[in-house]
Amino acid sequence: MKDLTRLYRDAIKRHATNPIGFCLEIDATNRYEADNPLCGDRILLSLRIVDGQLEAAAFEGEACAICMASASILCATVPGHPAQFLHERHGELLGALQGKGELNERDSLAPLLGVKAYPSRIDCATLPWSAAVRAIR
């Protein structure tokens, strides 16, 4: 378990240090700006959706390492999926963090589960996903 925790922590650091999709120009069709005043996170999430398919995702702003990593994971995993995928993944992440569901340890969202023990940080992990869902409404 200790090795898995370290692996997740390393994944968060890696994504926060070199975030995928950060300040990337994608010719967005959908955008949503969201913030978390308790932590100071503020991101603008951009999506390019063509014929109901997510072609690209990007973000900009200032955020804590957890939020940056979560946005990076989003940008790395959603292209190539239908827009509905954002709703599904947001629900799965939120459920797992609130103890109402589980994620496989190999799931791309699994590194974010470390915040489960810190309820005040759950909003940091879910902010990019909430913004993405609002961007497609």
**Overall pTM > 0.85:** yes
At 2 the pLDDT is 60
| Confidence bin at 7 (pLDDT 50/70/90) | low
Q: Classify domain 2-135 by CATH architecture.
A: Alpha-Beta Complex (3.90)
Q: How far apart are CA 109 and CA 70, in angstroms?
A: 8
List pLDDT tens digits, range 78-119.
999 999 999 999 999 999 999 998 998 889 999 999 889 889
Chain center to CA of 33 = 14
Q: How far apart are CA 34 and CA 111, in angstroms?
A: 22
Amino acid identity, position 43:
I
Q: Pairing mode, if any, of strands 53-62 and 41-50?
A: antiparallel
Amino acid identity, position 120:
S
At 100 the pLDDT is 92
List pLDDT tens digits, range 18-49.
999 999 999 999 999 999 998 899 999 999 99
